[in-house]
Amino acid sequence: MSDNPLDRATSSPPPVVGEGCAARYDPEALTPDHGTDFPEAQALWRAVTDARPAGARPPLDAKPDETP
């Protein structure tokens, strides 16, 4: 038996496709067992972004300051 606690881990990440900044989990290998089903994601995102104070984030069409 190994003394390394990682050898006793009961889970492992799904396979990855791509490398570096483009690395991501392989969508073909993901299942509901991986916790990929999140139907409330859109409602949560709206609740979080709507809860921010006015002016906390610029509108999407805002232009950066042109102050020298």
pLDDT tens digits for range 2-56:
677 777 767 778 899 999 999 999 989 888 788 767 788 888 888 887 776 666 6
Q: Residue 25, class by beta-carbon neighbours within 10 Å (0-12 exposed, 13-18 middle, 19+ buried)?
A: middle
**Does pTM top 0.75 for this prediction?**
no
Cβ contacts of 36 within 8 Å, gap of 6 or more = 30
Residue with tokens 């490398």, as numbered in its chain: 19
